[in-house]
Amino acid sequence: MLYIFDLGNVIVDIDFNRVLGVWSDLGRVPLATLQNHFTLGENFHRHERGEVSDEAFAEQICDELGLALSFEQFTAGWQAVFVGVRPEVLQIMKTLRDRGERVVILSNTNSLHCTFWPSQYPEVHNAADKLYLSQDMGMRKPEARIYQQVLNEEGYTADRAIFFDDNLENIEGARALGIQSVHVTDDSIIPAFFAERR
């Protein structure tokens, strides 16, 4: 079987309020103001496809939020999104690989985060056979073609794959292709899924 894991809130906990907290402190803008105006819109999606440079992305977000931040200050906040790994999921991934199953990560991400989390969490990289990252692929979930490319590159049909993601839209995108998909709404979902399959 091919096991496809998302990264954020599946393997690594993330929290965008931490990002806004840093920006609020550095930019002297009330946190509530940032929370009311921060959206993960088309600019964010284009950044995740690698269509927008880090600097242009930072400038646009700062303009939208009325933040006067240097690129370094913006980046310091942007990297604060990562809370920590879910060790039980890493152990499951390792067990699957020890069993001879294929385990990959498919993440909507961006080059700023990719310069950060691999050095912070090397154990994540080590838990997967391969990483598929939206910014390298020029496409992002829930686009059908991103799932199809992973299946094609891995040499598996949709009915031989299981996908784990915290975003319902991404889950529905994978299900539309016939991939068994598990909506990860909290950190108990994946351990419970595998406990039932023993």
Rounded CA gap, 119 and 99, in Å? Answer: 27
Active site residue 6: yes
The string of DSSP letters for 143-180 reads -HHHHHHHHHHHT--GGGEEEEES-HHHHHHHHTTT-E
- Residue 61: how many CB atoms within 10 A of its CB? 22
Regarding beta strands 2-5 and 102-107, do their DSSP bridges make them parallel or antiparallel, or are they unpaired?
parallel
Regarding beta strands 161-165 and 2-5, do their DSSP bridges make them parallel or antiparallel, or are they unpaired?
parallel
How many residues does this entry show for the chain?
198
Angle, helices 144-154 vs 168-175, to 10°: value is 60
Residue type, 45: H
Rg (CA), the chain: 17
DSSP H helical ranges for 49-167: 54-65, 71-78, 87-98, 111-114, 117-120, 122-127, 134-137, 144-154
Catalytic residue among 6, 98, 165, 187: 6
**Catalytic residue positions?**
6
